[in-house]
């Protein structure tokens, strides 16, 4: 009973919320907490967005096309620097749970191992362990580049450190194999 009480209450260190076990934020947990839980803990001051997948197809007659499918939504609390993702595909509303939490650079959080946005990749590697930088087997933990272009004028590029406990450390900008990753700043922390 005491353990449950401890994990349900968010710990605070130096004014920062500690991510309990790198999976629990203010009592909200991926795969368990719902939209109602988010509103109960965070309040109503959010901006709602759509999660869209775009598919490109080629028809039998030779013409190509594309279509979009909305598969979830996001709740962004800009003042807190936190965004929650909830996938809705084939789930009743009461069973739609958090599938990801993104902490922006202004989020006042710290991981269970002492990493916050503004630390460097060197700090992350020293606390969480070395990476598979070759990506030959893509075994966790590893580093990879990622880009997002959802019809926006500019493509967003990221360099990401992926660790096996559902945590990712994100730096803005494309991945450059010749670059010393240790110097990159952690701009966001993602839980999934």
Per-residue pLDDT tens for 72-130? 999 999 999 999 999 887 788 778 899 999 999 999 999 989 999 989 999 999 999 88
Number of Cβ within a 10 Å radius of residue 26: 21
Reference 163, options 138, 145, 132, 141; nearest CA is 141
Query: Could you report how far apart the first and last alpha carbons of the chain are, in Å?
Result: 27
Q: Which residue would you say has higher pLDDT here, 42 or 16?
A: 42
DSSP 75-101: EEETTTTEEEEEE-TT--GGG-BEEEE
Question: What whole-number percentage of the chain has pLDDT above 70?
Answer: 85
Q: How confident is the model at residue 136 (pLDDT cuts 50, 70, 90)?
A: low
What's the pLDDT score for residue 128? 92
- The range of the structural domain enclosing residue 97 comes to 2-191
Distance between CA atoms of residues 75 and 77, nearest Å: 7
Pairwise CA distance, residues 10 & 14, whole Å: 13
Residue-averaged pLDDT of the chain:
83
For residue 125, what pLDDT is reported? 93
The pLDDT value recorded for residue 86 is 94
Q: Answer whether residue 185 shows pLDDT above 80.
A: yes
How many domains does one find in the chain? 1
User: For residue 10, what pLDDT is reported?
Assistant: 45
Judged by average pLDDT, the poorest of 11-20, 55-64, 176-185 is 11-20
pLDDT at 6: 35
């Amino acid at each position: 009973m005491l353990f449950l009480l401890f994990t349900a209450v968010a710990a605070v260190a130096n004014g920062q919320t500690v991510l309990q076990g790198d999976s629990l934020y203010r009592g909200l947990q991926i795969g368990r907490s719902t939209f109602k839980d988010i509103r109960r803990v965070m309040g109503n001051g959010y901006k709602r967005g759509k999660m869209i997948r775009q598919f490109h197809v080629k028809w039998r007659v030779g013409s190509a096309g594309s279509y979009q499918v909305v598969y979830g939504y996001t709740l962004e609390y800009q003042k807190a620097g936190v965004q929650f993702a909830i996938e809705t595909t084939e789930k009743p509303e009461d069973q739609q749970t958090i599938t990801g939490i993104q902490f922006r650079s202004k989020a006042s959080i710290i991981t269970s191992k002492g990493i916050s946005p503004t630390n460097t990749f060197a700090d992350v590697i020293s606390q969480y362990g070395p990476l598979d930088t070759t990506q030959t087997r893509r075994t966790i933990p590893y580093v990879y580049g990622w880009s997002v272009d959802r019809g926006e004028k500019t493509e967003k590029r990221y360099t990401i450190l992926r660790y096996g406990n559902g945590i990712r450390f994100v730096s803005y900008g494309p991945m450059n194999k010749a670059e010393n990753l240790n110097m990159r700043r952690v701009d966001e922390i993602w839980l999934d």
